[in-house]
A and B are shown apart, each in its own frame.
Chain A
Amino acid sequence: MTRLKPHMQPRTLRRKTPVQRDRFTVFAALVAAPMPLYQLIFFLGPLLYVLVLSFFTVEWFQIKPILTISNWTHIWTQDFFWSAFLRSLLGATLTALAVTLIAFPVSLYLGIVASPTRRLVFLALLITPYFTNYVIRIFTWRGLLGESGPINGLVSALGFERLQMVDTFAGVLVGYVTLTLPLVLVLQTFSLAFVNRDLIQAALNLGSNPWRTLVSVIIPSAKIGIILGAAFSFVLAFGDFLSPAMIGGSRPPVLSGLLVDQIRAGNHWPRASVVAITMFVFLFLVVLFAVWAAYPSRRKIRWRPTQ
Chain B
Amino acid sequence: MGRLPFSQEDPLETDTVNNLFSPAASRVMLLYLILIGIFLFTPIVFNLYLSFSARRFPGFPVTDYSLKWYLEAFHDARLTEALIRTLIVSSLVAPVATLLGGLAAYADYRFKFFGKRLALALGLLPPTIPIVILGLAFLAYLARFNLTASLTGVVISHIVICIPFAMALIRLRLAQMDRDLEPAAWNLGGSQFQVFWAIVIPFCLPAIMASLLLTFAVSFDEFTIAWFIGGTEQTLPVRVLNMVEREASPMINVIGTITFTVTLTLVGIALILLSLSRLRTTRASR
In chain A, what residue has the closest Cβ to B112?
Answer: A22
Question: Within 8 Å CB of A25, what residues of B?
Answer: 192
Name the distance in Å between A277's Cβ and chain B's nearest Cβ.
Answer: 8
Q: Is A94 an interface residue when CB atoms closer than 8 A count as contact? A: no
Interface set, chain A 101-141, CB cutoff 8 A to B: 102-103, 105-106, 108-116, 119-120, 122-126, 128-129, 131-141
Provide the B123-139 mask, 1 if CB < 8 A to any CB of A, else 0: 10110111111111111
Q: Is A85 an interface residue when CB atoms closer than 8 A count as contact? A: no
Q: Is A252 an interface residue when CB atoms closer than 8 A count as contact? A: no
Question: Within 8 Å CB of B65, what residues of A?
Answer: none
In chain B, what residue has the closest Cβ to A153?
Answer: B60
Q: Is B275 an interface residue when CB atoms closer than 8 A count as contact? A: yes
The answer for the CA separation of A47 and B133 in the assembled complex, in Å, is 9
Size category of the A interface is: 35 or more
Pick from A28, A35, A131, A197: contact of B264, CB below 8 A.
A131
Q: Is A166 an interface residue when CB atoms closer than 8 A count as contact? A: no
Looking at A66-74, A75-83, A233-241, A299-307, the stretch in contact with chain B turns out to be A233-241
Q: Do B186 and A18 touch across chains, with their CB atoms under 8 A apart?
A: yes
Interface set, chain B 110-129, CB cutoff 8 A to A: 110-113, 115-116, 118-119, 122-123, 125-126, 128-129
Pick from A19, A111, A136, A228: contact of B5, CB below 8 A.
A228
Name the distance in Å between A37's Cβ and chain B's nearest Cβ.
Answer: 9
The answer for the CA separation of A120 and B29 in the assembled complex, in Å, is 17
Q: Do A273 and B20 touch across chains, with their CB atoms under 8 A apart?
A: no
The answer for the CA separation of A121 and B129 in the assembled complex, in Å, is 30
Pick from B12, B17, B47, B61: contact of A119, CB below 8 A.
B12
The answer for the CA separation of A42 and B162 in the assembled complex, in Å, is 13
Pick from B17, B129, B159, B252: contact of A113, CB below 8 A.
B17
B→A interface (CB under 8 Å):
3, 5-7, 9, 11-22, 25-26, 29-30, 32-33, 36-37, 40-44, 46-47, 50, 59-61, 99-101, 103-104, 106-107, 110-113, 115-116, 118-119, 122-123, 125-126, 128-142, 144, 156-157, 159-160, 163, 167, 180, 183, 186-187, 189, 191-193, 196, 217, 221, 223-224, 228, 237, 240-241, 244, 252-253, 255-256, 259-260, 263-264, 266-268, 271, 275
14 A–B pairs (Cβ distance < 8 Å), ordered by A: A28-B107, A31-B103, A34-B103, A105-B29, A109-B32, A113-B20, A120-B12, A124-B271, A133-B260, A140-B50, A150-B60, A178-B43, A210-B25, A269-B140
